[in-house]
Chains A and B, each alone.
Chain A
Amino acid sequence: MNKLFSILLLFALPLMAQEERIISLSPALTELVFKLGKGRQLIARSEPCDYPPEVKKLPVAGRFADPDMERILTLRPTLVITNDLINPGVRTVMENAKIRCVQKQCRTIEEYVEWVKLLGDVLKCPEAAKAECERVEREAKPLPKIKRKVLWVIWDSPLMVAGAGSLADGLLQRVGVENIAGNVKIAYFKSSYDWLLEHQPDAIVWTASKRDNLKEHRFWGNLKAVKQGKVVMLPNNDLVQRPGPRITEGYKLLAEQLRKP
């Protein structure tokens, strides 16, 4: 009887102990896994994953949306989460290896909230997920609109700005200001200096590489937002460019900077 019990226990142990072994291929999702308290189940990360700092100790299993399949198969995960896959064919490889792959776009705050719910169900922690959803809705709630046109510069050479559908556009809407390029239905597009001179923004969010002498630049120096020093550069662009838990911090910084009179 005792023996039988022990044998049963032996079989049951792995069943009881079984929890997901996760690989995340996106920095935002890595942060979310930690936020939901499942950080210790994460066994590998993608190259750009750098927050929270302890995640850097994990082995790297690919680049953003680009898994290194050999690594993944040796690490024996049970779950791979990603926003995108550069080569959709690797899904089949993972399915054949009995690895679950959850893939879903995450480009706006709304999509982030959906991800939180989805991951809460997948990782069996719906309460933590619900709390995170509520936190985001509470801490990043849409503010009343003020009359202020803002340009979001993603890259300055060539000039790339954020249009409708981008994370940046969503943030600006929540902060209550108008995205001057929001009428273009392309998330990120190339814009022209000429047009900006004619349609000047009241303020600029600058997430391109830092420039100290913007006022002396042959073009930027002509914009009144630059002349008046209304250029917002954040200490850490990840806060506004990564649709993860820290997006609320980015929102807070932007609201402070963009809404001050």
Chain B
Amino acid sequence: MRLRDIIAILLNIALLILGICWGARWYSPMTFIHDFENLRPLFMLRFQRMVTAITIGGSLSLAGLILQAVLRNPLAEPFTLGLSGGASIGAALAFVLGFYSKWVFAVPIGAFLGAISTLIIVLWISRCGRNGTESLLLSGVIAGTIASNVLVQILSFAQNEELAGITWWTLGDLQGTDPRLLWPGVVLLFAALVMFRCMADKIDAIALGEAQAFYLGGNPRKLTVVLVAAASFLAAETVAMAGIISFCGLIIPHIVRQCFGCIHRHIVLTTALWGAAFLMICDILSRCISTQHEIPIGVMTAVIGGPLFLWLLNKQHHA
């Protein structure tokens, strides 16, 4: 464990405590300890929300890091492969067809199926990346565009009430996450961390190109498929938990690479930790700027992440 990771973990713990104390009303940690029985519902609510932020922030950043390395494209994001489109179609269908009112799990499952089937189509069109990463990325972008058009079509079929649900869902929502989905998400994040750490050297190699990956002892096609599938799984899980949250998967890997280098065995954990911290900060701001009227988390990440990304890009350009 490196010093910077310990610092990042401490920062995460500090943010977790801040997020539990701060909300519609401030309670000091001491109040929570002394009066826990009364504050239990509030504690559980805020605790769960912060864990959701940690899980989603970590998963999205990791997925972004891996997709960028595998596709050798710094602009790749969990959603560049059209996953967001696929997931939102699945979710929207679950809303519109009325499955949601019958079964809570229908929306996340719909989102998941949508994302996975988009992935399969994209991988199939690009022959599992055999035609080069450009074709993979291009298929992804096109699938995403088609999906968003289909989404508009579905939205126009929906009644007002359902429409509101879908529209807001596409901007992300951390408080609605079902606890039955949250803990599997946490497990998945840890599993992904271990997996990516074990494959870190291979990820370095594939980031250098398919030829290099092969000469350094890897099987580039298998690596691409396994890593892209794992990253998509993470991304689909976050979509299922909280809808579409942009920018997190794009800027966190950028910042981490800029600050700590590109060697993946050094930055896998760091990326997850910074992603978690970033989303916690965004969430705390989104619910504490105006306590009654929440700012959607997706708006918050875009407002903070967008300018940050442009600044980074500019700085890189001048360097």
Contact = CB atoms under 8 A, between A and B. Distances in A.
Interface of A: 48, 63-64, 66, 154-160, 163, 181, 183-184, 186, 188-195, 197-199, 207-210, 218-219, 222, 237, 241
A163 B292 CA distance: 11
Contact of A158 (B100, B156, B169): B169
A208 B107 CA distance: 15
Interface residues of B, number: 32
B175 A209 contact: no
Interface stretch (B10-18, B157-165, B184-192): B157-165
A197 B45 contact: yes
A149 B129 CA distance: 58
A154 B287 contact: no
Contacts of A198: 23-25, 42
B29 interface: no
For B179, B292, B296, which residue has the most chain A Cβ atoms within 10 angstroms? B292
Given A194-B23, A219-B45, A188 B176 contact: no
Contact of A197 (B24, B100, B243, B287): B24
Given A64-B160, A159-B175, A184-B292, A193 B45 contact: yes
Given A157-B176, A158-B168, A209-B101, A194 B291 contact: yes
A189 B44 contact: no
Contact of B156 (A66, A183, A195): A66
A186 B290 CA distance: 13
Interface string B33-74: 000000001101110100000000000000000000000000
A158 B45 contact: no
Interface string B270-298: 00000000000000000100011110100
A190 B291 contact: no
Contacts of A222: 41, 45
B210 interface: no
A197 B42 CA distance: 7
Contacts of A208: 161
Q: Taking chain B's interface residues, is the majority helix, strand, or loop, or is none over half, making it mixed?
A: helix
Interface of B: 23-25, 41-42, 44-46, 48, 100-101, 107, 156-157, 159-161, 164-165, 168-169, 173, 175-176, 179, 243, 287, 291-294, 296
A6 to B, nearest CB: 52
Contacts of A154: 161, 164
Nearest to B166: A155
Contact of A190 (B41, B157, B294): B294
Closest 3 CB pairs of A and B: A209-B101, A158-B173, A222-B41
17 contacts: A64-B160, A66-B156, A154-B161, A154-B164, A155-B161, A157-B169, A157-B173, A160-B164, A181-B292, A190-B173, A192-B291, A193-B175, A194-B42, A194-B175, A194-B291, A199-B24, A218-B44
A254 to B, nearest CB: 17
Contacts of A188: 164
A157 B161 contact: no
Contacts of B46: 194
A192 B176 CA distance: 10
Contact of B168 (A163, A181, A190): A190
Contacts of B173: 157-158, 190
Given A48-B159, A160-B168, A194 B101 contact: no
A194 B176 contact: no
A155 B164 contact: yes
Contact of A192 (B107, B157, B168, B292): B292
A156 B179 CA distance: 15
A155 B165 contact: yes
A158 B42 contact: no
Nearest to A223: B41
A184 B293 contact: yes
Contacts of B45: 193-194, 197, 218-219, 222
A193 B175 CA distance: 7
A48 B287 CA distance: 35
Nearest to A195: B24
A195 B291 contact: yes
